[in-house]
Structure 1
């Protein structure tokens, strides 16, 4: 079966399964499911890709990916920041900067991981899981295997964290809103923030989702700063290119524009539903294409070090995020 038929089927299946209550209870969104299904297809399919298949896969991983992230902005608004107060913004900023800094430094300097694996894992843990990893990919231009490894580790510990939040809630003295801020500022995926908050109560879930979405909004300035920083590093390195070119991820401006439009214009609910589905479908197609071209053996060859890095960041999120939320929220 041609790739241009298989990948849409995988994307639709992942989106449908993510809406099943038993699946969503585990905090599994359409994106991680799509990459897993894509990997199964790529591993067991006997079809040899022709030029048309390869072109379509490239289109999904590049054009559709950026289009999906731009549309993702329609699910955010600046009014959401005002709803939870300045403390949530400060906590998000501290967690993002801490997790990304520790992740890149430890990953590269201590664990001796490939730079791209360390940066992708740190970005996914710090901001919004698979979506952040895909957005960061546009700046790094890493190998497919590096992206898959980062997504696999982030999804693993993000899912584990989701089951830990209700247990922590039973033993701490925090208000429902404060605990929602804690979940939102430390959960890896939006779906995981929803599932964890829902397991406690409605107020906690609402606060957790808003704080998580604020972290998602910070993806745009993060990508721009990362692009500028990497360009400077490349320009100063010994392997200096003939002429340093600033890699500007233009889709980030589209992401910011759609979030701004959603903040100042009241869009019809039907239109927002259509835009949300289009965003999810585009990103799921990109993940399916990525998974289909990734081999299991490559992930196995990566060894335990990526897991060790993701585990360290998971511990900092859970413990550091708790104390920071208890202090500020």
Structure 2
């Protein structure tokens, strides 16, 4: 047990060690050039953690590992629960049925497509395929973090998924404003999108919340309705992470039992309770019982806890474990990227016109 009398000191030292790294990542994320790139503390944290894992890992006391693991597992789940304070059910209702359907279709299709492509077509390990797909389908690094405990996968697999999310999410952040100003805004017929439609498209297809916020801000003279639609649709995708994880737990249990056969012991159902608590927190937040400044403070604390979890995951990522993967993660992530950009455009246009 990490907090048993003989392990307590080492566990606390490991947690403090991770927190120091996370504080450094938070500071770096606020610096001008890095902030302009839209890199969140979570991304910087995992990069710092990976650097540590492959350089200084053997220089720190072994008993600290309990605290690092606690940060990557337990603190992570608590942080995902607190993530519910970023969402209200009223915001989801405000986006309308078209925005909701775009979110649902893009999340489901991207998760299924990415998992299948990675595992079946490109020969990637199943957990890594699902993690990479979840990051593209829902909300980037935070979705990878939330999915990892359900799969109970190794840290380096989450690091691979996060690296793909960062790469293609960053490309999206620069690509979408160019697409809008050079093609979509000035086009006629099917290619044209109103500001609200483009906002739904952005929110339904771009990886990270920060990147979704950055895109409308990068469009010259973009109306407020574009940014509002983009953020609300994105947050609709975020809250869908809870039912996605519950269904994933059911699927994993069913698959394990099916593969095991009738003669073997049944695999117990995995219910990610932190996802259920996440919905409960979002419901509580929808009641607006807490002052805005308190909610803002909670979200800042939550971002730091997520950064700690991401940093800890990075600390378990040894490059030697990547051998044999080749370019499969890139092929999988790039295929999902094409689907999000092209397929997402078609889905958005069709849904908006039908609804």
Scaled by the length of structure 2, the TM-score of the pair is 0.88
In 1, Cα distance between the equivalents of 2:257 and 2:108?
Answer: 24
Deviation at 1:213, TM superposition (A): 0.6
The 3 A distance-change label for structure 1 pair 275 and 53 is same
Deviation at 1:178, TM superposition (A): 1.0
Deviation at 1:156, TM superposition (A): 0.6
Find 1:220's aligned residue among 226, 230, 242. Answer: 242
String of CA shifts for 1:87-116, please: whole Å, max 9, x gaps: 000001110111111111111111111110
In 2, Cα distance between the equivalents of 1:142 and 1:43?
Answer: 20
Determine if the alignment matches structure 1 residue 110 to structure 2 residue 121.
yes
Find the counterpart in structure 2 of residue 185 from structure 1: 204
In 1, Cα distance between the equivalents of 2:114 and 2:57?
Answer: 38
Determine if the alignment matches structure 1 residue 16 to structure 2 residue 27.
yes
Find 2:68's aligned residue among 57, 69, 82. Answer: 57
Find the counterpart in structure 2 of residue 88 from structure 1: 99
Find the counterpart in structure 1 of residue 3 from structure 2: none
Find the counterpart in structure 2 of residue 317 from structure 1: 340
The unaligned stretches of length 5 or more in structure 1 are none
Find 2:85's aligned residue among 69, 74, 94. Answer: 74
Deviation at 1:82, TM superposition (A): 2.1
Root-mean-square deviation over aligned CA pairs: 1.8
Determine if the alignment matches structure 1 residue 35 to structure 2 residue 46.
yes
Mean CA deviation greater in 43-52 or 125-134? 43-52
Find 1:277's aligned residue among 293, 300, 320. Answer: 300
Find the counterpart in structure 1 of residue 213 from structure 2: 194
Secondary structure of the equivalent of 1:290? helix
In 1, Cα distance between the equivalents of 2:33 and 2:61?
Answer: 38
Find the counterpart in structure 2 of residue 168 from structure 1: 179
Instruction: Kindly tell me the number of residue pairs found equivalent between the two proteins.
Output: 329
Secondary structure of the equivalent of 1:118? helix
Find the counterpart in structure 2 of residue 122 from structure 1: 133
The unaligned stretches of length 5 or more in structure 2 are 1-12, 185-191
Find the counterpart in structure 1 of residue 269 from structure 2: 246
Secondary structure of the equivalent of 2:54? helix
In 1, Cα distance between the equivalents of 2:349 and 2:178?
Answer: 16
Q: Which has more radius of gyration?
A: 2
Determine if the alignment matches structure 1 residue 232 to structure 2 residue 243.
no
Deviation at 1:299, TM superposition (A): 3.3
In 2, Cα distance between the equivalents of 1:19 and 1:50?
Answer: 31
In 1, Cα distance between the equivalents of 2:63 and 2:89?
Answer: 42
In 2, Cα distance between the equivalents of 1:152 and 1:117?
Answer: 12
String of CA shifts for 1:248-307, please: whole Å, max 9, x gaps: 111111101110001013421221122101211111111111111212333354210111
Find the counterpart in structure 1 of residue 37 from structure 2: 26
Determine if the alignment matches structure 1 residue 145 to structure 2 residue 156.
yes
The 3 A distance-change label for structure 1 pair 21 and 82 is farther
In 2, Cα distance between the equivalents of 1:199 and 1:314?
Answer: 20
Find the counterpart in structure 2 of residue 260 from structure 1: 283
In 2, Cα distance between the equivalents of 1:162 and 1:116?
Answer: 27
The 3 A distance-change label for structure 1 pair 244 and 4 is closer
Deviation at 1:21, TM superposition (A): 4.4
String of CA shifts for 1:190-247, please: whole Å, max 9, x gaps: 0110111211235222221111111000000000000001100000104785232011
Deviation at 1:8, TM superposition (A): 0.9
Secondary structure of the equivalent of 2:215? helix
